[in-house]
Amino acid sequence: MVTRVVMPRLSLTMKEGTVGVWYKKEGDNVEKGEPLVEVFSEKATYDLEAPASGVLRKILVQEGVDASVNAGLAIITAPDESFSEAEISVEMPQAVEKAEKRILASPAAKRLAREHGIDLALVKGSGPDGRIVEEDVRRFIEETRGILPKVKEIIPLSGFRKTSAERVSASFRTVPHSTVVMEVDASNAMALHDKLQASYTAILVKAVAKTLAEYSIINSTLEGNQIKIFEDVNVGVAVATENGLVVPVIHNADKKSLGEIDAAIEELTQKARQGKLAREDLTGGTFTITNLGMYGVEFFTPIINPPEAAILGVGRIVEKPVVVDGKIETKPITMLSLSYDHRIVDGAPAGEFLRKVKGKVEKSFEIEG
C-alpha cells in the first residue's frame, strides 16, 4: 500500500514548514512510529514519525526546502510495490515555490559578494543586460570602503529564525497592538516562592489562568468577523533556546495546582532546550507569558503570539521606594505589561484584566493550591 508522508499542521496559523534533516534515505526500510524527518515550524523542531512500515521509496522535498501544510514530503511503499509518479504529483500539494527577483551575476561575482557580505541588489552591473561581473563587485567594495561596516558572519534567515520573523511581522502588521502597564508588589510572591520553591513564572501562570477563567474575552481569537472565546485555558510560556524562542503550552492551566504548573514548566523548559518538544507541547495555546526579568529587563512591550488575543510581559523584580500609610518604604516591585488585540479588547477591560492579575500576584497565598 502506498503511504504518503505530508507536512503536518502544528498550529492553527501554520501555513508552511521547513524540512530539516532526513533520518532515512531513499531505499531504506522504515518502521511505523520511528523518526523519519525533522520539520521546522512554530520556532521549534518536530520529529515527524513514519506513518507506516515499509520502504522509503521517494523523498519529494529536500532538506532546507519549505513546504505548505499537507504538501507531500515522501512516499512509503511495501517492498517491490509499484506506484505512479503522475498520480502522486496530481494528488499531493507541492512544495512551496518562492518567486524572487532574479539578479544576473557571474559565478565569480556571486562568490566575491558572499565573501564580503554584499547584497548584489546594491551593485550596478556593467555586463550585457546589466549582468554583474566580478569587477563590478570589486569596484563596489572600493567605493564603499570605510562607509559600510565589515561583515563578520552571515546567518541565513531560515528554520527557527525565519518562522519567528514571519510570525512577528505578520502579528505586528495585521493586529492593532495596544499595551497597558502596571507595577506589582511582589512581596507575597517572593514569600510563596521561598516557601514552596515554586518559580515566579509558575505563580504568574496560576494568577493569569485564574483571571482568564473570569475574563474570557481575553481568552479568545478573531477569525474573520467572529470572536471565538476558548473554553480551555492553555497558557504558553516563552522559553529561550539556542535556536530562538519557543512557546510550549500548559494545557488547562486553570485546573492545575501551583505545584503541577511548576512541574510542567520545568519539564517543558528542559524539553525545549533539548529540542525534544512534542507536537502537543506546542499547540493549543490561548494566551502567552514572556518573562525577561532574569535578563535585568524592567519593562518591555511584547508582541502578540497569533492567533491569541493578548500576551503578558514580565520584568525583573527590583526594590523601589513606595508610600505606605504616608511613610516611604521599599518594596520588591515588578512591572507587568499586557499587549492586546484592540480589535477584540478595549482599553478598559484590558486594564481590568491586568488589575485582577496584579491583585492575585499581590495576594499570592490565595493561589497556593
Could you give the residue range(s) of every CATH 4.10.320.10 domain in the chain? 107-143
CATH fold of 107-143 reads Dihydrolipoamide Transferase (4.10.320)
**Contact (CB, 8 A) for 77 and 83:** yes
Intervals of CATH 3.30.559.10 along the chain = 176-367
Global model pTM greater than 0.85? no
Say which CATH topology domain 3-91 has: OB fold (Dihydrolipoamide Acetyltransferase, E2P) (2.40.50)
Q: Which amino acid is at 368?
A: E
pLDDT computed for residue 235 by the predictor: 97
CB-count exposure of residue 148 (10 Å: 0-12, 13-18, 19+): middle
What are the mean pLDDT values of the chain's consecutive 10-residue runs (369 residues total)?
84 75 92 90 74 92 85 90 63 45 82 83 87 91 72 64 70 87 95 92 96 94 91 94 85 95 96 86 93 94 92 96 92 96 94 96 75
HEC-encoded secondary structure of 215-234: CHHHCEEEECCEEEECCCCC
Q: What is the CA radius of gyration of the chain?
A: 25
Catalytic residues: 342, 346
pLDDT at position 157? 63
Question: What are the start and end residues of each CATH 2.40.50.100 domain in the chain?
Answer: 3-91
Residues with Cβ within 8 Å of residue 95, at least 6 apart in sequence: 60, 61, 65, 66, 67, 68, 71
Q: What is the DSSP letter of 138?
A: H
How far is the C-alpha of 291 from the C-alpha of 294, rounded, in Å? Answer: 7
Task: For residues 25 and 364, give the distance between their C-alpha atoms in angstroms, rounded to a whole number.
Answer: 54
The pLDDT, as a whole number, for residue 104 is 86
Architecture, CATH, for domain 176-367: 2-Layer Sandwich (3.30)
pLDDT of residue 159: 61
Residue showing cell 518573562? 291
